[in-house]
Amino acid sequence: MPDLFKNKSKFLSELPSKPGVYCMLGNNGNILYVGKAKNLRKRVPNYFQSEQKDPKAALLMTHVCDIDLTITNTEAEALILEYTLIKKNKPRYNVVLRDDKSYPYIYVATEHAFPRVEFQRRAKAQKGKYFGPYPNTNAVRETLTELQKVFLVRQCKDSFFRNRSRACLQYQIQRCSAPCVGLIDKNDYDNDVKSTMQFLAGKNKSIVNALVKRMEQCSEQKKYEEALKYRDQISRLKEIQAKQLVATSRKTDIDTLGIASDGVTHCVAILSIRNGSVIGSKNYYFKIRGGATREKIQQGFLSQYYLSIKSPSEIIVPVPIERDSVLENLLSDKAQRKVRLTNNVRGNRLGWLDMAHKNAIYGLECKVSSEASLTAQLSTLGKLFCNGIQPKRIECFDVSHISGEATVASCVVFNELGPLKSDYRRFNIKSSNHGDDYAALSEAVGRRYKRIKKGEALMPDILFLDGGKGQLSSCMRILNELNIINIIVIAVAKGKSRKPGMEQLFLTTQSEPLNLAADSPALHLIQRIRDEAHRFAITGHRLKRSINRKGSRLDGIEGLGPIRKRELLKQFGGIHGVMKAGIVDLAKIHGISKSMSARIFNNLHNHN
């Protein structure tokens, strides 16, 4: 029995009557749960009651071997520390958000003479104007598309903008006014940028009024083409306004939360309202062992989510919360303005709260249905290949390249919850046999399973390979060399017609391929895993290929560093000028010796 429970009375009597954070630790010192308290002496003893009312707490205490305490000066400090520890350690009994991506913004580079508008994943510390955050990337991309159609403000990179000698395709399809080649006056472009920022700030009415005024002026001056352009912009803006889901005359930024739970899986839906209009929603899912109340889910979610971003001015929550709570004050300090947590609402706000609740219920139903479908697929797969035992872990390999260039192999992992993306791996293939899929796949499998044998990852129950008999034979040879014999290996070939549902499965236990029915749940899962491996491989291949093709012919020349490379390109006007130069011409550049110039010349022309 751990010393903590042998000396329980002594431990509890020495608890300080101060705010702080407590970490429940398991037998190997891992953090199982992190909590905060306004008064540790009053809060912690609740976990040691003989009859525990909270099933989650009862289950937790069966695994706790020690408790680590951190005393803070204030409850606000305890809240921040709790958030930090949960974010870092992801304890199994806390509400832990799994989607830890930064949030998307729209950025306007106002410092540039002709500002651009672009998507950015986070608000970076650079000059310009940011709008957001938006709930998801689709909301950002849809907004950018509308901006291109209405205001024709450029979205290209500055390097692209500087090097244009004629208008690009965006101008031809009327998505840009081509400021790069002077096809629009700077004052007119500045007006379009100003209107763009007003649109992003939700000031649609003022934009329409300004456009109407310009249209009338152009009409009076008989500039009918310009007047037509303004008329089309007004018409497009009216369409956008008509598409908005909900609007209110109060142009405030609000998030509305909805919570749905089936006791095991929990869904929190965030409905985002910006400048009085609903711009989208996003669902977050998590599981908590032992169950959790709506109050616990809401409390854990609010601190986890909003302490990592700048909060809107109001957050509407489904469960009542104390006025002037510590969390509300803390969010206000972080946002440097008043942030309200409200529950008792009516009118539009009540409608938004109901909408968020419906989104949460629908999201939970979809999640549960998806997991049930996956369970059925795994069960069928187990009956076919694992003697009726449902596989707990599946891996699949694929290879992607173009004529042997930038060969990348992928390994994707699925478990009973679906894709386990944290365990995905890519392998840059080092084999000298370019274009040899068998060698590439064997190398990837060998590297992966050497690591698995060392305990770096779990051994799967089934290993799928994208390919046929050849891939199966070459990989089995590698696995036998590693003395790995306790997994089922299956090669998945597309079949002669290469149509979905016609896949052939090659196994080591039979000479003829196995064909499953097109409506087999097991085949649907195999197709999904195979397609995911293909997607992950081709994404890695494209990334590697783009990096390779961005390289300079001057790379890899012994003694030629970045400063000299830059000087060469500058003096000769680019790589084509360097290619035309002779050894004597190269030697005239400051810092380039005769031997270096000969080395550069020989390297470039041997390469060519």
- Assess contact for 504 and 468: CB atoms under 8 A: yes
Q: Which two tokens stand for residue 171?
A: 């101008």
Among 48-52, 130-134, 447-451, 558-562, the range with the most confident prediction by mean pLDDT is 447-451
Q: Identify the weakest region by mean pLDDT among 216-220, 279-283, 416-420, 564-568.
A: 279-283
Q: What is the pLDDT of residue 584?
A: 84
| Angle ∠(583,586,590) on CA atoms, nearest 5 | 140
CA distance 503 to 482: 29
Residue type, 194: K
Burial of 517 (0-12, 13-18, 19+ CB in 10 A): exposed
Q: Which of 266-280, 520-534, 557-571 has the highest mean pLDDT?
A: 520-534
**Three-state secondary structure call for residue 591:** coil
Give CA angle at 292 (41, 289), nearest 5°: 95
DSSP code, position 130? E
What is the pTM (predicted TM-score) of this model?
Answer: 0.51
What is the pLDDT at residue 525?
A: 92
Alpha helices in 244-347 (DSSP H): 294-306, 326-335
The pLDDT of residue 317 is 93
pLDDT digits (tens, 9 = 90+) for 73-103: 777 777 777 877 887 788 888 877 655 456 6
Is the predicted pLDDT of residue 436 greater than 80, yes or no?
yes
- Which residues have a Cβ under 8 Å from the Cβ of 424 and sit 6 or more positions away? 410, 411, 412, 413, 536
- Quote the CA–CA distance of 206 and 236 in Å, as a whole number: 15
In the chain, pLDDT over 90 holds for what percent of residues?
21
CA-CA distance, 474 to 319, in Å (whole number)? 59
Q: Give yes or no for residue 1 having a pLDDT over 80.
A: no
Alpha carbons 540 and 562: distance in angstroms, whole number: 27
What sign results for the dihedral spanned by CA atoms 146, 147, 153, 158? negative
pLDDT at 250 (0 to 100):
53
Comparing C-alpha atoms, which of 104, 109, 144, 131 is closest to residue 120? 104
CB atoms within 10 A of CB 71: 12
DSSP run (H or E) holding 579: helix 575-580
Decide if 430 contacts 446 (C-beta within 8 A): no
Token pair of 435, please?
């274009």
Residue with tokens 């946002």: 335
Residue partners of 534: CB distance under 8 A and separation at least 6? 398, 400, 410, 466
Band of residue 322 on the pLDDT scale cut at 50, 70, 90: confident
* Position 281 pLDDT exceeds 90: no
- Tell me the percentage of the chain whose pLDDT exceeds 70: 88
The DSSP letter of residue 101 is: P
- In angstroms, rounded to a whole number, what is the distance separating the alpha carbons of residues 93 and 109? 44
Model pLDDT for residues 215-244, shown as the tens digit of each residue: 888 888 888 887 887 777 777 666 555 444
Q: Which domains does the chain have, with CATH numbers?
A: 3-89 (3.40.1440.10), 105-243 (no CATH), 254-365 (3.30.420), 393-548 (3.30.420.340), 562-607 (1.10.150.20)
Q: What pLDDT score does 217 carry? A: 85
Asked if the peptide bond before residue 133 counts as cis, ω within 30 degrees of 0, the response is yes
Tens of pLDDT, residues 492-517:
998 776 677 788 999 988 888 999 88
The answer on pLDDT for 585 being more than 90 is no
What pLDDT shows up at residue 239? 56
- What is the C-alpha end-to-end distance of the chain, expressed in Å? 74
* CA 415 to chain CA centroid, nearest Å: 20
Residue with the larger pLDDT of the pair 416 and 3: 416
More confident residue, 405 or 350: 350
> What string of DSSP letters covers 428-495?
E---SSTT-HHHHHHHHHHHHHHHHHTTSSPPPSEEEEES-HHHHHHHHHHHHHTT--SSEEEEEE--
Instruction: Give the tens place of pLDDT for each residue, 519-539.
Output: 788 998 999 999 999 999 999
Helix (H) or strand (E) holding 23: strand 20-25
Please give the pLDDT value at position 4.
60
pLDDT at 323: 64
Residue among 453, 446, 411, 413 nearest 431 (CA): 446
Kindly list the distances between the CA atom of residue 127 and the CA atoms of 107, 123, 275, 502, 565, in Å, as whole numbers in the listed order.
10, 10, 23, 55, 30
Task: Please check the confidence at residue 346 and state whether its pLDDT lies above 70.
Answer: yes
What's the CA gap between 525 and 529, in Å, rounded? Answer: 6
pLDDT of 249? 41
Identify the pLDDT of residue 123: 56
- 3-state SS of 340-381 is EEECCCCCHHHHHHHHHHHHHHHHHHHHHHHHHHHHHHHHHH
What does the mean pLDDT of the chain come to? 83
Supply 104's token pair.
Answer: 């998307």
Calculate mean pLDDT across residues 480-484: 91
Residues 278, 244: contact at Cβ < 8 Å? Answer: yes
Which pLDDT value is given to residue 102? 62
Q: Which pLDDT score is estimated for 99?
A: 54
